[in-house]
Structure 1
Amino acid sequence: MPRVIIADDNQALLDLLSEFSRRAGWTPETCLTGAQIKDAIGSGTEPALLLIDIMMPVMDGIEAIDQISEIDRPLRIRFMTGGNSASLIAAKLIASARGLQVGRNIFKPIGREKYLQILEEEASLLAELGHVRSGST
């Protein structure tokens, strides 16, 4: 099962996206702050998708990039926001400069169909990352 880590300070959104993820065959894990992301990623080696809200308490999505870039495992990131797109652009540029793979941004609110489409797109990209990582192309 592909893994998705969803970081957002809105518990209702976390619950909703987790349920959508489970129904689509993904294993979701949630974080209420950016500070929880590194622990959620853990020490495994399987690829993971990170959906990260830009604005969160304690540590926001942009601040979390530094910690995420230290992790040696195949990851893909999509940044989310319900507001300012300038922050999304900055986050994407910073993450890309640190060598992280970043997909298109997500603007909230996000509907079920759009979310499932994102998961479908990312599943194939994560599968490719896993094959490249294991050396079997």
Structure 2
Amino acid sequence: MNWTLEVVVVPVSDVDRAKEFYADRLGFAVDHDTRIGDDIRIVQLTPPGSGCSIVIGTGAVPDMPPGSLKGLQLVVPDLEKARAELVERGVDVSEIQVVGRNPRPVPHPLDNVGFVFFTDPDGNGWAVQQISSRG
């Protein structure tokens, strides 16, 4: 049996501001923006190439303080290119950092150990890691 992670709820204070950040700044696809009455709104967005989406919204999402989610992680095959794209889109992203050492030889020195970090407008924390091939 496969167990797939398909959705992560990201707590935000302003759904429109968060939707703009994730769609326009990060390039996530807006899968749907659904309103169910005046009090419930669900917006689902998916990073390019990902099998897992995020959900932001009001009324029907778990009650978590905005900005309280830390440790979300995206993986890309080319961290330098990904960082340049984020900078071009206006995201305040860290410089590339090497975290740890590779346990085995890899095709690129940043594989597995290269990261950049950023937060969304509410302070939810994201990392981007380079993995260009898997062992």
TM-score, scaled relative to structure 2: 0.30
User: Greater strand share, 1 or 2?
Assistant: 2
Compare CA radii of gyration and give the structure with the larger one. 2
